[in-house]
Amino acid sequence: MASGKSGGRCGPEGKIARASGKDGPQIVHSKGKRWTDEAEAIFLDSLAASNNARWSAEQCGFSTAAIYARARRDPGFHERMAAARAIAQDRIDEGLYRAAEDFLAGKAPDPDAPLVVTSVDQAIAIRKLNAPASGGGGRRPAWPARPRTLEEMRASILRKASAIARKRGLI
């Protein structure tokens, strides 16, 4: 394992197609320091199992910053990541519903279940941890905003100009 900025972590070895090199597209052999199809598969499988991006990034040997930067640059990866999160969320919800039914029926929690919930408060806490970020319509702050219409831009500029004028005492 190589040591470096990633704290000694290294992804799986493999091949990856680089879009451009000095002679055009080329196949690059990775010793684990570059993103490969194998690293992506490990990350997406881990994310679908856990809905935990930090843990999933560790499993494939990359940082969460590198993962989120890749998702911003690559719309295809962003979609695959969203699909993996949806799978994980469905699995978590199903486990919570089963655990809630068992809890309400007075059954003891199943220790072999993927989610062991011993109280309603615990179920609510798990649900909150996996809920989308609030305030931005579920959109993470680092993700690009949707394109605004001309009318929205005009209204925004006029609001800002009006606020500046009020602050300077011109209105």
The model scores a pTM over 0.75: no
| pLDDT one-digit tens code per residue, 7-19 | 444 555 656 665 6
DSSP secondary structure of the chain: ---STTTT-----EEEEEEEETTEEEEEEESSSS--HHHHHHHHHHHHHH--HHHHHHHHT--HHHHHHHHHH-HHHHHHHHHHHHHHHHHHHHHHHHHHHHHHTTPPP-TTSSS---SHHHHHHHHHHTSPPTTTTT--TTSPPPPPPHHHHHHHHHHHHHHHHHHTT--
Residue 46 pLDDT greater than 80, yes or no: yes
Question: What are the domain boundaries of the chain?
Answer: 14-131
Pairing verdict, β 14-21 and 24-30: antiparallel
State the CB neighbour count (10 A cutoff) for residue 170: 8
Residue where the block lists tokens 């809905």: 51
Quick one: pLDDT at residue 162? 92
| pLDDT one-digit tens code per residue, 126-139 | 677 766 655 444 54
Quick one: pLDDT at residue 36? 77
Q: Under CATH, which architecture does the 14-131 domain have?
A: Orthogonal Bundle (1.10)
Query: Which residue has better confidence, 150 or 138?
Result: 150
Of the given ranges (27-31, 49-53, 136-140, 144-148), which has the lowest mean pLDDT? 136-140
